[in-house]
Amino acid sequence: MKSFNIKKICAEPNRPPYSIKIDEYFETFVYDNILKPFDIIVNTGWKVVLTIMIFKKEADTPEGVSFYEPDVFEEDKLKVFPAAINLEDIYKNDEHIENIVGLYFQIISMFFMSYSEAVSKKYLVDQMNKIDWDYLFSLPYPASAEEQGYVGSR
């Protein structure tokens, strides 16, 4: 397991059919552009899993991205940080991949602004320019069920 992983969960019948390669892209992006430069969890033995849960919006659902208390498994040197987004935020227009990438970047930015004093908001905003949109838009959408990589679907 890499030091930083993204896992996505969605039980909705119309879950967004995007490729797990988006998750893998952001795992590498975070490692190369945040973890390595700031020496965060690199070579510590600890692993971080950012769990992105996609839910249908309900009347009492908060707007935007929500974070929950992490689960820490000392014996496994593992921290699991749950984040939730609304399904409707992905489907708000016809730009589903753009919406997903924007939400992932928002989650990652909020995560590091909340849990790392070393990473500034300005630094994260500057990293947005490094996103390889051509690659992300080249990925199949909709992706096959096998290529989506939702937890519990493999």
CA 88 – CA 149 distance, rounded (Å): 20
Q: In 54-81, which positions are buried (b, 16+ CB within 10 angstroms) versus exposed (e)?
A: bbeeeeeeeeebbeeebeeeeeeebbbb
Q: What is the mean pLDDT of residues 3-18?
A: 96
Domains observed in the chain: 4-140 (3.40.390)
On the question of pLDDT at 154 being above 80, the answer is no
Q: Is the peptide bond before 142 cis (omega within 30 degrees of 0)?
A: yes
Per-residue pLDDT tens for 30-63? 999 999 999 999 889 999 999 999 999 887 777 7
Residue 128: CB atoms within 10 A of its CB come to 12
